[in-house]
Chains A and B, each alone.
Chain A
Amino acid sequence: MCASRRKEFWRLNIIWWSTVLHATWGILVLFSPDALGATPVALLDLLVPGDRIALGVMFLLVAAIALVGLWSKPGKVRQLMFLPQQVFLLTAAIGCASAIARGQYLDGTPRPPLFILADQLPIILLAIAYVVSVLTENGVHHAPSSD
């Protein structure tokens, strides 16, 4: 695999695993209200307060749109399909950053900022990597199992 193809593979994998993450969040939120307290989910819960079904469907919808985008032909429509997930991921990352800054999870649990940083860092890094991936992806069809 050449360097450019390897980079494209990593970019699409970041989008792919973000899709998996959002689909999982959607399923968990639909399955139980307990998942709503998790910091990345708690902030997005405020988009549709008190309606976890709507939030779960939104998560699944966002993941589905990104998934369709991964298998779409290269073009602007495909690039737009990655954006809803990016908005959700960035919102969740900002919620995590806020929790770190305040030293308190969004469900109200107080913890040292470094504790929350260590806990929520993957979401923040994933959000940054996602933005970079969307910005630099070339529109090659995704085939995670073949590579």
Chain B
Amino acid sequence: MPPHLIDWAFVAALVTSAITIGTKWLLPALQKIGRGEDDASTAEWRGRVGAQLDQQDKALTALMEATTDIAKVVAEIERRGHGMEDAIRRSAQTSAQIASMAEHVSSMVPKLDSLLLDAATEERLRRAQGRQRRNR
């Protein structure tokens, strides 16, 4: 075993441990100091950013109001669209009814024709009989 190995090994271990704990304790303290300096130097920057944020906030409020108006318009268009849809549906139903009525009427036309013919024939016979009666 090398002479004094334990001495320098133990001292090296102590120094390493001291450095370890020193680093562990000093780093947060240094970070805190750095943060303090940062606070002082960025106060103005924060003020500017704050003003910009206020402006953006106003713009966003206006945008939201406009969005609300647009939503109202869209809702109105939608409501009217529904009304038009109902009207179109009713119109389609009425068209179907008209079509069926037209079909019905067209089916009645030949009957009406035959009835008119019968009536005309009967009228002609009645006139002829009246003429015969007068001649006698």
Residues in chain A within 8 A of chain B (CB atoms): 42-44, 46-47, 76, 79-80, 83, 86-91, 94-95, 98, 102, 106, 108, 131, 134-135
Contact = CB atoms under 8 A, between A and B. Distances in A.
B3 to A, nearest CB: 11
Contact of B17 (A83, A95, A108): A83
A90 B21 contact: no
Contacts of A79: 21, 24-25
Contacts of A134: 20-21, 24
- Interface SS majority for chain A: helix
Contacts of B9: 43, 90-91, 94-95, 98
Interface of B: 1-2, 5-6, 9-10, 12-14, 16-17, 20-21, 23-25
B15 to A, nearest CB: 9
Contacts of B1: 42-43, 46, 98, 106, 108
26 contacts: A42-B1, A43-B9, A79-B21, A79-B25, A83-B20, A86-B17, A87-B14, A89-B13, A90-B9, A90-B17, A91-B6, A94-B13, A95-B5, A95-B6, A98-B5, A98-B9, A102-B2, A106-B1, A108-B1, A131-B16, A131-B17, A134-B20, A134-B21, A134-B24, A135-B23, A135-B24
Nearest to B1: A106
Contacts of B21: 79-80, 83, 134
User: DSSP majority for the B interface?
Assistant: helix
Contacts, number: 62
Nearest to A102: B2
A87 B20 contact: no
Given A76-B25, A79-B21, A90 B5 contact: no
Contacts of A83: 17, 20-21
Contacts of B6: 43-44, 46-47, 91, 95
A53 B5 CA distance: 22
Given A87-B13, A90-B12, A43 B5 contact: yes
